[in-house]
Amino acid sequence: MKSADNRNPEGAEKSAPLNTLWTVIDRIGTGCAAISDVLVIAIALMLFGEVVARYLLNMPTIWTQDVAVALQLWFTYLAMAYVLRHREMIRITAVVSLLGPNARRCIDAFSLLVVIAFSLMAVYYATDIMLESIRLGRRAPTMLEMPNWISELPVILGFALLALQGVADLVRIPYRPAPEFTAADEAAD
pLDDT in tens, 33-54: 999 999 999 999 999 999 999 9
Name the band, by pLDDT with cuts 50, 70 and 90, for residue 168: very high
- Count how many Cα atoms sit within 13 Å of the Cα of residue 105 in the half-sphere of its side chain: 12
Residue 81 lies inside a defined structural domain of this protein: yes
Taking alpha carbons only, the member of 134, 124, 131, 118 closest to residue 156 is 124
Above 50 in pLDDT, residue 4? Answer: no
Residue 13 lies inside a defined structural domain of this protein: no
Residue 104 lies inside a defined structural domain of this protein: yes
Q: How many structural domains compose the chain?
A: 1
Residue 4 lies inside a defined structural domain of this protein: no
- Quote the percentage of the chain above a pLDDT of 70: 86
